[in-house]
C-alpha cells in the first residue's frame, strides 16, 4: 500500500476518521518518515498544530514491517495514540500488525504490595472501602493500569503505597510474578511490532540498559513525539536523587515485608519497629534541616556541610545499616525481605555519593517540596548520552514536535541533543489561517517586567482583555509567584470565575474551564504545553513575561556557566532559543482547530524594545500583531458576529 493511496481524498482514512481531509503537509511528512525508516538516519520533523502529524508517522510505521517504538511526552498522548489513533488505523489500513503499549511501572498496581497492605496494620491509615475497591478492581482488571481509575489524584497517597516502583519491584522471584501486571505488559510489548511508550519509560530503559538490564523490546526505529521534552526527561533519568519520602517508604516497606513473610526465626522481631523508627527520624532530622522555608530547587554544596549536618548524615547511615542487618539476620529465604535489605544498601550508597564531592559534570541541588525534601545531582549535559544511547544505537530515529526550531533554525535543539552529524530537517507550517483566526496584542504602556508596578499593570490589562472576550482566558505566567499575584489581583478586578493551577488536579481544572466558558484559568509550568482546549472555550491567551528559564535554578545556571566557559555565549546558544521555543508552545495553546478564533496578548515590553525580540516574533506562527487596543477590539467584535448563537462556534 502506497502513502499516496492512504492519504488521498477517497482513501481508507476517510472510512474511520469522518472529518479526514488530505493535507499536503501531512503527506510530505509521512513521505519523509517513510524515507527515514527505509534509508535510516535521524529525521527532525517540525509540524505546526493541525498538520495531522500523528497519522503522518503512524501510517509509515505500520506499513514498514519493522519493530518501531513510538514514544510520547505525556501519558495523555500515549493513551490517545494507542486507544484511538492506532486502533482506528489498523481497521482503516487492514494491516496485520501487533501493537502494544507500555507505561512506567508506577502506573501499574503491584499485587504484592497491595496484598501486603491489606494484611498489615498500615491499611488502617487509609479508608477501608478504598482498599476494598482497589482489591476488587485488581481482580477484575486486565491491565492493572491506573488509567482505569480516573478518580485517582496524581499524588494519591494510597496509590503510592500499592503501585509498582523501581525500588519495590522484585521481579522473577516474586510470588506474584506470573500474574504481575508489569510482567504481563512487558510480555505483550515484547511480542508486538509497534510499541507505544512515553519518554519517561524510554529513558528509564536507557538508564537501565547502561546497568545491563532492559525494559523495552529490541527495536530498530524510534519515533519521539513531543521531542522538545527529551532533554529535560533524559536529564531526570540520568540524575541521582534521594528524598525523605523515599526513605520513609523504605522503612515502611521493610516492616510490611517482614510481617507478611511469617518467618519462624526472626531475632529482631521485637526491635525492628524501633530500628525503622530510627531510620525515619534520622531522615527527618537530616532532610528537614537541610530543606529551605520556601518550596523550590536551590544550589546545594555537599562539600560545605556543617559538623551537625555531617553528624545527622552519619546517624541516618547507621540507622539504615542497622535496619539492613536486622533484615539480613532473618533465617530463611524471602524475596521481599531480601529486596528491602538491598534497598537499604542502595540508599546508603546513593546518600554517600550525594553528600560527597560531586562528579565534575554533575550539578548538586536541594529541592524542598510540600511534604518532602530531595537531595540530588543532575548531569549538566546529556547530549553525549543521547547521541551514544539513542541516535548511534538505532538505525532510524524520528523527532517530531510543533516546536523544534526557532524561526526554522534547528541549531539549538541539535546542540542540546548531541545531533552533531548530518540529519534530515523538515519544518512544515500549520494549515491554520492565523491572519484570519488570531491576533497578537502587544500593549505599549506596561512597565518593565522587573519593575515593582508590573504586576498591577499586567493584571489590569488581563482584566480589560477578558472583558473584551467575556472570559475564556488562559493566563500563562512564568513563575508560581507571578501566577498567584495575577490570581489575587484578578480576583479584585475581573468579574469572571477564576481557576488557579494547584487548586485541583490538572484534568479537573481543564474540565471546569471547558464547562464554564466565561472562566479565567491562571497557570504556570505544565500548562504552557500539552494542554488542548479546542473550540470557543479558549479565546484569549495572556502571557505575562518572556519565558526565560530562571537563572537561579542550579541546573540552568550550571548550563549557562558551562556554555560561557566554552566560549559559546549562553544567552544566544541556550537562554534565548529555549525561551523562544517555550513562547511558541504557550502561543500554540490558542488555535487548535480551523474553527478557533482568539487573541494572544504578551505583556512583556521587551518584545517591543529589545533587539533579540525579532527571534521570538519570527518563531511564532504568522499572526498579525497590533499594539492598538481599539483595532484589536474592532477585529474581535467582527469575529464575534460570525459566531452562531446555538453552539458558540464560529459559523464558517
Interface residue list for ligand SF4 (CB under 6 A)? 110-113, 164, 169-171, 174, 176-177, 180, 182-183
The residues, ordered by sequence, that sit 6+ positions from 487 with a Cβ below 8 Å of its Cβ are 498, 500, 522
Residue 21 or 148: the one with the smaller Cβ distance to ligand SF4 is: 148
Closest alpha carbon to 438 in 573, 553, 363, 538: 538
The DSSP symbol for 359 reads P
For residues 93 and 180, which CB has a smaller minimum distance to ligand SF4 in the complex? Answer: 180
**Is 314 in a helix, a strand, or coil?**
helix
Closest CA to 525 of 497, 553, 495: 553
Nearer to ligand SF4, 140 or 293 (CB): 140
Distance CA 600, CA 540 (A): 6
For ligand SF4, give the closer residue by CB, 116 or 324: 116
Least separation, in Å, of the C-beta of 506 and ligand SF4? 27
Identity of the residue, 174 or 603, whose beta carbon is nearer to ligand SF4 in the bound complex:
174
Element (H or E) spanning 602, and its range? strand 598-602
Q: How far is the CB of 135 from ligand SF4 (least distance, A)?
A: 14
Query: CB-wise, 171 or 384, nearer to ligand SF4?
Result: 171
Terminal CA-CA length for the chain = 35
Q: How far is the CB of 174 from ligand SF4 (least distance, A)?
A: 3
- 3-state class of 242 per DSSP? strand
Q: In angstroms, give the least distance from the CB of 156 to ligand SF4.
A: 18
Distance CA 62, CA 498 (A): 45
Q: Edge to edge, what strands does the sheet with 41-47 contain?
A: 99-101, 194-198, 68-72, 221-224, 396-401, 41-47, 424-428
Compute the distance between CA of residue 286 and CA of residue 47 in angstroms, rounded to an integer. 48
The least CB distance from residue 339 to ligand SF4, in Å, is 8
For the CB of residue 114, give the shortest distance to ligand SF4 in the complex, in Å. Answer: 8
Smallest separation (angstroms) from ligand SF4 to the CB of 197: 17
Identity of the residue, 64 or 182, whose beta carbon is nearer to ligand SF4 in the bound complex: 182
Choice between 42 and 344, CB closer to ligand SF4: 344
Which residue, 112 or 460, is less far from ligand SF4 as judged by CB? 112
CB of 635 to ligand SF4, least distance (A): 56
Question: Residue length, the chain?
Answer: 652
- Smallest distance, ligand SF4 to C-beta of residue 429, A: 46
| CB of 158 vs ligand SF4, minimal distance in Å | 16
Smallest gap, in angstroms, from Cβ of residue 179 to ligand SF4? Answer: 8
Q: By the 8 A CB rule, do 279 and 251 touch? A: yes
Q: Which residue has the cell 534520622?
A: 282
Count of C-beta atoms within a 10 Å radius of residue 318: 14
Q: How far is the CB of 145 from ligand SF4 (least distance, A)?
A: 13
For ligand SF4, which is the closer residue by CB, 3 or 182?
182
| β strands within 402-472, DSSP E | 424-428, 438-441
Handedness of CA 55, 103, 511, 488 (dihedral sign): negative
Query: Which residues are registered as beta bridge partners of 71?
Result: 197, 224
Q: Which is nearer to ligand SF4, 165 or 467 (CB)?
A: 165
Tabulate helix, strand, coil % of the chain (nearest 5). 50, 15, 35
SS in 3 state form for 373-393?
EEEEEEECCCHHHHHHHHHCC
Would you say 177 or 512 has its CB closer to ligand SF4? 177
Least Cβ distance, residue 260 to ligand SF4 (angstroms): 12
* Identity of the residue, 204 or 413, whose beta carbon is nearer to ligand SF4 in the bound complex: 204
Closest approach of ligand SF4 to the CB of residue 161, in Å: 12
d(CA 220, CA 241): 32
DSSP output for 285-312: HHHHHHS-SSSEEEE--GGG--HHHHHH
Q: What is the DSSP letter of 358?
A: P
CB closer to ligand SF4 out of 111 and 416: 111
Distance between CA atoms of 287 and 373, rounded to whole angstroms?
6
The least CB distance from residue 112 to ligand SF4, in Å, is 4
Question: For 325, phi and psi rounded to 5 degrees?
Answer: -65, -40
Give whichever of 44 and 254 is closer to ligand SF4, judged by the CB atom.
Answer: 254
CA–CA separation, 272 and 256 (whole Å): 11
Q: How far apart are CB 245 and ligand SF4 at their closest, in Å?
A: 19
**Dist CA 490 CA 323 (whole Å):** 53
Q: Are the C-beta atoms of 246 and 347 separated by less than 8 Å?
A: yes
Residue 101 or 616 having the CB closest to ligand SF4? 101
**Is-contact 376 240, C-beta < 8 A?**
yes
Report the alpha-carbon distance of residue 243 to residue 298 in Å, rounded.
15
Biggest CA–CA distance in the chain, Å, is 83
Please give the C-alpha separations between residue 606 and each of 123, 195, 319, 465, in angstroms, as whole numbers. 55, 45, 54, 20
Q: Count CB atoms within 10 A of the CB of residue 523.
A: 23
C-alpha distances (whole Å) from 279 to each of 274, 312, 317 are 9, 11, 8
Amino acid at each position: 500500500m502506497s502513502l499516496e493511496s492512504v492519504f488521498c481524498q477517497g482513501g481508507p482514512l476517510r472510512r474511520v476518521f469522518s472529518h479526514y481531509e488530505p493535507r499536503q503537509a501531512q503527506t510530505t511528512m509521512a513521505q519523509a518518515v517513510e524515507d527515514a525508516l527505509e534509508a535510516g538516519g535521524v529525521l527532525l520533523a517540525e509540524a505546526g498544530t493541525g498538520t495531522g502529524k500523528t497519522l503522518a508517522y503512524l501510517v509509515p510505521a505500520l506499513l514498514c514491517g519493522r519493530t518501531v517504538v513510538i514514544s510520547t511526552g505525556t501519558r495523555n498522548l500515549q493513551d490517545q495514540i494507542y486507544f484511538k489513533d492506532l486502533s482506528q488505523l489498523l481497521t482503516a489500513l487492514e494491516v496485520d500488525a501487533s501493537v502494544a503499549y507500555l507505561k512506567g511501572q508506577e502506573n501499574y498496581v503491584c499485587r504484592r504490595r497491595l496484598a501486603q497492605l491489606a494484611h498489615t496494620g498500615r491499611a488502617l491509615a487509609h479508608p477501608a472501602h478504598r482498599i476494598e475497591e482497589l482489591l476488587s478492581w485488581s481482580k477484575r482488571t486486565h491491565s492493572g493500569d491506573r488509567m482505569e481509575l480516573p478518580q485517582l489524584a496524581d499524588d494519591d497517597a494510597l496509590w503510592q503505597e500499592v503501585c509498582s516502583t523501581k525500588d519495590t519491584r522484585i521481579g522473577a522471584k516474586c510470588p506474584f510474578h506470573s500474574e504481575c501486571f508489569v510482567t504481563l505488559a512487558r510480555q505483550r510489548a515484547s511480542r508486538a511490532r509497534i510499541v507505544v511508550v512515553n519518554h519517561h519509560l524510554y529513558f528509564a530503559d536507557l538508564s537501565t540498559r547502561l546497568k545491563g538490564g532492559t525494559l523495552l523490546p529490541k527495536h530498530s526505529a524510534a519515533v519521539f513525539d513531543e521531542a522538545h521534552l527529551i532533554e529535560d526527561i533524559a536529564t531526570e533519568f540520568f540524575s541521582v536523587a534521594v528524598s525523605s519520602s523515599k526513605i520513609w517508604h523504605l522503612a515502611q516497606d521493610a516492616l510490611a515485608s517482614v510481617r507478611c513473610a511469617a518467618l519462624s526465626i526472626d531475632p529482631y522481631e521485637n526491635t525492628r519497629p524501633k530500628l525503622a523508627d530510627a531510620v525515619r527520624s534520622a531522615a527527618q532530622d537530616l532532610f528537614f534541616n537541610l530543606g529551605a522555608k520556601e518550596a523550590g530547587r536551590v544550589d546545594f554544596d555537599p562539600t560545605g556541610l556543617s559538623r551537625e549536618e555531617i553528624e545527622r548524615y552519619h546517624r541516618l547511615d547507621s540507622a539504615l545499616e542497622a535496619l539492613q542487618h536486622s533484615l539480613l539476620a532473618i533465617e530463611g529465604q524471602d524475596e521481599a525481605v531480601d529486596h528491602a535489605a538491598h534497598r537499604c544498601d542502595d540508599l546508603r550508597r546513593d546518600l554517600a555519593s550525594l553528600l560527597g564531592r560531586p562528579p565534575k559534570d554533575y550539578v548538586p541541588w536541594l529541592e524542598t517540596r510540600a511534604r518532602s525534601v530531595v537531595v540530588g545531582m543532575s548531569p549538566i549535559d546529556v547530549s553525549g548520552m543521547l547521541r551514544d544511547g539513542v541516535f548511534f544505537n538505532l538505525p532510524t530515529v524520528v523527532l517530531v514536535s510543533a516546536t523544534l526550531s526557532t524561526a526554522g533554525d534547528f541549531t539549538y535543539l541539535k546542540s542540546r541533543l548531541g545531533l552533531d552529524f548530518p540529519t534530515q530537517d523538515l519544518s512544515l507550517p500549520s494549515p491554520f489561517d492565523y491572519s484570519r483566526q488570531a491576533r497578537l496584542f502587544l500593549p505599549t504602556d506596561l512597565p518593565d517586567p522587573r519593575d515593582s508596578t508590573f504586576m498591577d499593570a499586567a493584571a489590569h490589562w488581563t482584566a480589560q482583555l477578558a472583558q473584551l472576550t467575556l472570559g475564556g482566558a488562559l493566563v500563562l505566567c512564568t513563575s508560581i509567584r507571578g501566577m498567584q499575584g495575577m490570581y489575587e489581583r484578578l480576583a479584585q478586578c475581573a468579574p469572571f470565575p477564576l481557576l488557579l493551577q494547584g487548586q485541583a488536579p490538572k484534568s479537573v481544572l481543564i474540565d471546569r474551564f471547558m464547562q464554564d466558558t466565561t472562566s479565567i484559568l491562571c497557570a504556570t509550568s505544565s500548562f504552557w504545553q500539552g494542554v488542548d482546549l479546542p473550540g470557543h472555550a479558549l479565546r484569549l491567551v495572556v502571557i505575562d513575561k518572556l519565558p526565560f528559564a530562571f537563572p537561579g535554578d542550579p541546573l540552568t545556571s550550571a548550563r549557562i556557566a558551562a556554555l560561557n566557559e566554552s566560549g559559546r555565549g549562553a544567552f544566544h546558544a541556550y537562554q534565548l532559543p529555549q525561551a523562544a521555543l517555550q513562547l511558541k508552545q504557550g502561543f500554540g495553546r490558542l488555535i487548535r482547530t480551523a474553527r478557533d478564533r482568539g487573541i494572544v496578548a504578551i505583556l512583556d515590553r521587551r518584545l517591543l524594545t529589545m533587539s533579540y525580540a525579532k527571534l521570538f516574533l519570527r518563531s511564532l506562527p504568522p499572526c498579525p500583531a497590533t499594539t492598538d487596543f481599539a483595532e484589536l477590539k474592532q477585529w474581535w467584535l467582527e469575529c464575534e458576529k460570525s459566531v452562531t448563537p446555538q453552539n458558540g462556534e464560529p459559523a464558517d
